[in-house]
Each structure stands twice: as structure tokens, then as C-alpha cells.
Amino acid sequence: MTDSVSRRRLLASTGTVLATGLAGCGYQPAGGELDWRDDAGGSPGFTRTSDERWLVDDASLFRIRNRNGRVVEHGTGFVEVEDAYVTVYDSKGTRIWSGAAETQYAGEPAVADGRAYVPLEDGRVTALEREPATDEWDAGTDVRRRWRTDWDGADRSLIADDALVAGVHADGLVAFDADDGATRFDLGREAFGGRRIVDVAVGSGRVWAIGTDEGTDADESDGTNDDAGGTGADREPVLYGVTADGDVRTAASIPAPPGWLETSGSTAVVGVDDEILAFFDGDDPAFVVELEGPTARATPLVVEERDRLYHYADGTLEAVDVDEGRRVWSRDDYSFREPPVADADGVYGRGTGPGATDCGLVAITHEGEPWWHVPPLEELGCAGDLRLVGDRLVVIADGTLYGFRRRPGRRYTIAHRL
């Protein structure tokens, strides 16, 4: 009995020492450390996934994929399906809800504010969201259809924020109310001087669109002038600002085909001819910022919390203050193997940089300083695609999700203190 008590006291004392050492060292899980992994895989059964998209809103990762084949449904057994299936994960890798649309999707879906907006092959568009919890014990993991409405056309693509869902198709531009699906406006090419809409962004209750003569009959124009951009086949691209009611407020000529279009709050930001042009209400740019990297091959990243736009192209990462209209800093010693991601704290990517080689995870502060870097995970290597989901960096590779911590910590070990 004495020996037993002594052993228990020894174990208790050892545990106290270890706990004290661990607490005293101040260890925190560090940036780039693997936090979780999840096998996204496929559905149980024999489905064929013909097409899928991985999209992110502020807090969730959406997987939208077309299914065709047999699946196992709880309480039913094997059933034949041909639909679009949505699975949503949070930053911890937990599947928070999932469910199917009536038919497969055709075109480009969008996500915003916890919802998925899906253009369906039957000529409609639907909004899917998490079924509300019925009580405190029900987490609400099933899907419900928020709304569904008709919308047909060729080459359909959606983009959304928390108020509007804009849809681009071969013959014009449409906008739906994000809450109930009501059509806010439906504009044909004639509203844009016959131009085809090639890029769209949504922000602060307004839709911004780039119109060009690409794929139109402009070469057969009679040479008469329209709202902006010249005459006939010589017309320049035009940036249009459209209110939620369909009123075209802005028609600003762009000197060349733009590389990209983004919004930061109520500001439209266009990358063209290695410059950033910013527009508010008028037809003239509010400011112009010259860039080192080419806009034609760029990855723009907007972080509205800091009025910041990060621009990455050909090994050059630049930070632009969208509110003040100036370039804040630039670095050419980082090279990313895929488009980086960004938030209010900094920029993250997989590639090389000061102290980092191959395709490890690297981070740069919002002030432009090296933050942290880690070597690539051995089982992952350089495979997959990077997303920012809440406070985690998520790599999607071969049906598996890897969640990495974003914030740095102190990497001291117990042995370091003992």
C-alpha cells in the first residue's frame, strides 16, 4: 500500500512538474502548423463527379459538385441521382451542412454570407442555405432552398455579396435580391451600347461591369458614337456602375482591355496597362496607381477591413491603400506557386521567400514584413490548392482537406524549459 501511494505521489509530482514546465514555456500552436485533416472524398455509392467548384466566403468553405449515379441515402438505401450537391465546412474542418439542388449546375456558382447561389441546367437559379436549428439540441445540418427563380441564357456566371446576386450571360446582365430572389434588374446589351459584359463585381449595393466589343458585331457598326469609348470597332472597353434598381450611373472609358475588376466597399478597382484605376461615382478615375507587376497576369486580393488591395504578378507582391490611392509597399523576394490569399493581418501563400524553400507555407504581415514560414507537409508536398477559411489556411488536395493555423505562436518545447 505504501508503494502504491508512493507511486501515485511520484506520478502526481511528475505531472505537476510537466504541467508547470508546459505552462511556463508559453507554447502556442504556431502559424503553418497542421491543425486538422479531413477526407472530403466522394459520396457513398457509385456516383460520378463530372464537375466541381471549391468556393469560400468569409467563414466557410463550399464544395459544389455535379453528381450522376447511385448513392446511399439514410433510411432509403441506394437511389439514383443527377444533381448538384453542396457540402459546407467551417474553419475547423467540420461539415456544417450539406444537401442537393434539384438538377445539376451549369455555369459558375457563387457563395456569400453562408449561402450558395447555383445556376441550374434547367434554366433556373437557386439559393441554398443551412436549415435553421429547431431547438438547442438540433445543429441544423440539412440544406433548405431559400429561393429559386427562372434565369436562362448561355454562358451564365454568378457573383454575389450579402445584398445582391449578379448574373452575367451572353446577352446581358441581371441582378437578384440575395434575400428573396426577386429580380432587381435585367439589362440587355443595348443598355451597354451593344457591348458584351466580360467581367462583373458587386459591392455596397452596386454592380460594376466591364463591357467590350469582344464577341459582338461591332465591326459592322455604322460608326456612330455611343455613351463612351469611341465609335464602331475602335471603341474602348467601358466600366459601368449600375445601381440595385438598374440605373446605369457610370460609363467610364478604359484605355485597354482590363486584366481584372474588383470592389472595395463602394469603390470599383480596375487593373489595366500595369496601373490600378479606382472609380466611385463619376466617369473619371478617382486615382491612378502605377504598379511594378503586370496587371494582365495578376492576382488581386481585396481586404476591405484595411482598405487594402494586394497585387501579385510575376514574382512581385504590392500593397495598395485603396482609400488613399497610393502604393504602400512592394516585395520581389517571394514567389508563390499559386494565387496567395490575404486578410487583415497579412498575405499567405505556398512558395519561396526569405528563409523558405520549395512550396512551404509563408506569411507576410500587412506592413510588408516577413512573418513566418514552414516547410511543406511531407504527405502533401506541393499538391493541392490554397484557400483562406476563417482563421485557418486550408489546402485541398486529392479529396483531402488540410487545415493549417494562420497566426504565429511560440514554438518552445517542454524540454526547452526543463
pLDDT at 137: 56
pLDDT computed for residue 308 by the predictor? 98
Local confidence band at 412 (pLDDT 50, 70, 90 cut-offs): very low
Is pLDDT of 415 > 80? no
Residue 100's pLDDT is: 94
Distance between CA 175 and CA 202 in Å, rounded? 10
- Asked which of 8-12, 244-248, 273-277, 338-342 is least confident by mean pLDDT, the reply is 8-12
Residue found by looking up cell 511531407 in the block: 378
Give residue 36's pLDDT band: very low, low, confident or very high (50, 70, 90): very high
φ and ψ of 197, to 5 deg? -80, 120
Q: Report whether pLDDT(12) > 60.
A: no
Instruction: Say yes or no to pLDDT of 198 above 80.
Output: yes
pLDDT at 234: 72
Predicted local distance difference test score (pLDDT) of residue 414: 38
Integer-rounded Cα Rg, in Å, for the chain is 25
Q: How many angstroms separate the Cα of 59 from the Cα of each of 56, 111, 403, 415?
A: 7, 11, 13, 37
| Matching residue, cell 436549415 | 131
Report pTM. 0.86
Bridge partners, residue 312, by sequence: 299, 317
Report the pLDDT averaged over residues 59-69. Answer: 94
What DSSP line would sit under 164-196, residue for residue? EEEEEETTEEEEEETTT--EEEEEEGGGGTTPE
> Which pLDDT belongs to residue 283?
78
Give me the pLDDT at residue 230, please: 56
**Mean per-residue pLDDT for 312-318?**
97
* Residue-wise pLDDT tens digits, 348-392: 999 999 988 888 999 999 999 999 999 999 999 889 999 999 999
- Asked if 115 contacts 127 with a C-beta cutoff of 8 angstroms, the reply is yes
Give the residue-averaged pLDDT of 135-142: 65
Rounded to whole angstroms, how far apart are CA atoms 146 and 113?
13
What average pLDDT does range 299-323 have in this prediction?
96
Quote the CA–CA distance of 12 and 8 in Å, as a whole number: 6
Please list, in sequence order, all residues whose beta carbon lies within 8 angstroms of the beta carbon of residue 198, skipping any fewer than 6 positions away. Answer: 210, 211, 212, 214
Q: What pLDDT, on a 0 to 100 scale, did the predictor assign at position 25?
A: 52
Q: How many CB atoms lie within 10 A of CB 318?
A: 22
pLDDT of residue 71: 77
More confident residue, 81 or 219: 81
Q: CA 127 → CA 33, 167, 179, distances in Å?
A: 35, 13, 9
pLDDT digits (tens, 9 = 90+) for 325-340: 999 999 999 999 999 9
Question: What confidence tier does 282 reach under pLDDT thresholds 50, 70, 90?
Answer: confident
Bridge partner list, 213: none
User: For all residues of the chain together, what is the average pLDDT?
Assistant: 86
pLDDT band at 224 (very low <50, low <70, confident <90, very high): very low
Tell me: the pLDDT tens digits for 102-119? Answer: 999 999 999 999 999 999
